[in-house]
Each structure stands twice: as structure tokens, then as C-alpha cells.
Amino acid sequence: MVDSRSEPAWAWPDLHDAQRAVLLEVLINGSASRAELARRTGLSRTSLTRLARDLVELGFLAEGETNAPNGRGRPSEILNLEPSAAQFAGVKLTGEALYAVVTDLQANVIELEEQSLVSRYAPDAVSQIAEIVRGFSASHPRLASVGVCLAGDVEQVRGRSVIVGSHFLGWDNVPLESLVEAETGLPIAMSNDVQALTAAHHWFGAGVGRRSLVLFGLGAGIGAGIVVNDELVRGSHGHPGKVGHIPVRHIGPTCDRGHVGCASAYVTIPAILHNAADTSFERVLERAAAGDRAAQSALDDAGYALGVVVAQLMNVIDPEKVIVTGEGLAVARAGKAAMDIALAEQLDPAFERSEIDVHDFSFADYAWAAAVSAIRRVV
């Protein structure tokens, strides 16, 4: 009998720090000559030439056209990323579904799969993830690593990622990284979904070229991911971006934790449904568009709460860009007027307002983000 958990035939090579630095520079900032890469990385030309040769031989870089700026100086070949050198799997778990993608080394999605979650029982979920990964490995034999993300608290326990709590899956203290790694034989990157999406947009999405940004994920909850000085803020306990209970009003509805008038009591989809007396978010949007005052009031309250939270993080972090996304992003559109009022009231008048990008979303975006975390895991 063939062991379905046997080691994969191909594995990502063990790159040393200097090789990783050169590859990472081309991955994030694009093609460049050896001379330019030496300047960017602070390496000598001799070292850079040797490292580039190694990465070309490994298949991660490819030599491209010859470049001689302004027709002067010594011509140099441009080094380009070879996106097909490796593939990466990304999996997003919700309480009801599993979204999975395969990307290349440049985070381009090349395969997408969606399944109903067989069970919220953690061993069953691990088996389902492993089965999908094995299928991906059969089609993509250079699958290098797997990223998994979900809504929940992820902590490092003795060097391994553990789901210390996920309300939507009903999990506590699940060593998911170790369990999935044991089933697949691949390196695993485990992360909170909003944190993963923030990191993915910083490298490959709406945050490219920005040294600081804040991403808000709206939906069943509200969370924030923060990048400062090109680094994802992870927090001392792995729980950054807990913005859901920032106070908005001293009186008002209560959230599921019993807080009065906090952001979660207004801006999450469950809160909007409660405040609009409805069971469908899409129907609330339709009612508001048709002039229903109760529906529009719930969306205005949500937009105002979002504006308060965005303003608070703008005041504290002063990011270059704010990204609002998630399945509840319509709040930032349908409640925009109220959000703008809150921003005007709450922002420090001495600050220049950061760019706000309301970014289109599908749940597959979280799977893409998980795949990017898999890239970050090995590069």
C-alpha cells in the first residue's frame, strides 16, 4: 500500500540568507541587472554574480535582455523572476466552506477549488485539506508549501502555529500547522485571515509600493492588518488589529460580548442584520437602495462606526494607504456619507488624510492570501 502521507518528490531547496535576499528582492521589487541588485541588497558585485548564478541554476531566476542605460557603460543582463519555478497552495476555512488555490511564485492564481466543509471537527478538516493538497501536488509536482488561514487567533507555541481560538469553527488550541504538515509532508504557513490578506496585498496587491498600510476586513467580524516600515505588525502575542470593540457611542446596541455601542455592534454583518431587522445582507442593501429608512439607518450607523475605527488607526499609525475589503465592504459604499462624517470628526486636523481604497473581494482572495503566506514561508 502506498502511504498517502509520503514525502513529496520535489522540495524547496534550503536557500541561505544571501540567496534568499536576492530572490526576495526580485520577487518583490521586480527585474533588475546584477549591478542594480548589488546596490539594492548591499552585496558586492562578485557575491551577487555568484548568487545570481546559483538562483538561475535552481530555476528561480532567468537571464533576460541586455541593458545598457543611455547606450553607455558596460551592458548587463536583466535578471527576471521565473514564476513557474514553484507552486504554492493556499486554503481558507470558514465555518461552512473551504476555498483553495494554487499560485505560481509570483502569486498568480493558476487553479481554484471550492468545497463545502465536510465537518467542523478538526481532524476531519485536516483530512479534507490534505486531500485537496494531494490533488494539487499531483497536478503541480513542484508544490513547495501550503498556507492555511481562518478567522481566529493564531499563536506560536514552541515554534509552531496553534489555533488558540476560532469562534466560527468552534476550535480551541488546535495545533493545525503540525497536523496538516504531518498529513502533507510540506512546510505549512498558518495565519489569521486578515493578517494573511494584509501581507498579501503588501507584496502583490493593492498595497504594492507602500511602506505602511492598514487593511480592514469586514464581514462576520471586523479585523485590521497593519504594515509599518514594510513589516507586518504581528504583536507580542500574535493578536494585532483587534479593532472590533473600539467605542463608537456611549449608548446603543450591544455586541456579542455585551459591550454597548462598540464598532462590532454596528459594522459587522450580523450587527447590520440585527439593526435592520433582516436576515439577508443583500436584502438590506436592496432595501436601502429602494429608499427604506430603517435599512439605510443601519448602514449609516455601520458606515459611521467604520469611519471612527479607520480614523483612530489613521491617527495612531499615519499609514500611506487604507484598504477596506471583505464580504461586508458594501458598508463603505452604502454608508460612505456617514463614514466621511466620522472621519471628519475623528481625524487629527493636522494630518493629511490617507488614501482609502474600497477593494473588491471574494472569499477566494483569502485563499490567495494563504498561498502568499506559503511563499513568504519559504522565500
pLDDT of residue 349: 86
171/99 Cα distance (integer angstroms): 19
The hierarchical CATH code for the domain 86-199+365-378 is 3.30.420.40
Q: What is the dihedral sign for C-alpha 114, 119, 122, 124? A: negative
pLDDT averaged per 10 residues in sequence order, the chain, 379 residues: 55 95 95 93 93 96 74 74 98 97 98 98 98 97 98 91 93 97 97 97 96 97 97 88 94 91 97 98 98 98 98 96 98 98 93 92 97 97
Q: What residue ranges do the domains of the chain occupy?
A: 17-84, 86-199+365-378, 209-358
216/310 Cα distance (integer angstroms): 8
Q: Which of 309, 293, 295, 302 is nearest to 345 (CA)?
A: 309
pLDDT of residue 2: 45
> Measured at the alpha carbon of residue 366, what is the angle toward residues 119 and 159, in degrees to the nearest 5?
80
154 CB-near residues (< 8 Å, 6+ apart): 161, 162, 163, 164, 190, 191, 192, 195, 238
Q: What is the dihedral sign for C-alpha 264, 268, 271, 272? A: positive
Other CB atoms within a 10 A radius of the CB of residue 257 amount to: 10
> What grid cell was written down for 192?
489569521
Q: Do domains 86-199+365-378 and 209-358 have the same CATH topology?
A: yes
Q: Which of 269, 247, 253 is nearest to 326 (CA)?
A: 269
The hierarchical CATH code for the domain 209-358 is 3.30.420.40
75/98 Cα distance (integer angstroms): 50
> What grid cell was written down for 347?
481625524
| Residue that the C-alpha cell 465536510 belongs to | 118
34/166 Cα distance (integer angstroms): 46
Extract the runs of DSSP E, i.e. beta strands, from 158-250.
Answer: 160-165, 188-192, 213-218, 222-228, 231-232
> What grid cell was written down for 83?
514564476
> What grid cell was written down for 36?
542594480
- The CATH class, in words, for 17-84 is mainly alpha
pLDDT of residue 350: 82
> What grid cell was written down for 180?
496538516
Burial-class residue 84 by CB neighbours within 10 Å (0-12, 13-18, 19+): middle
Buried b (16+ CB within 10 A) or exposed e, 323-354: bbbbbbbbbbebbbebbebbbeebbeeeeeeb
Helix (H/G/I), strand (E/B), else coil: 377? helix
pLDDT of residue 71: 57
pLDDT of residue 69: 58
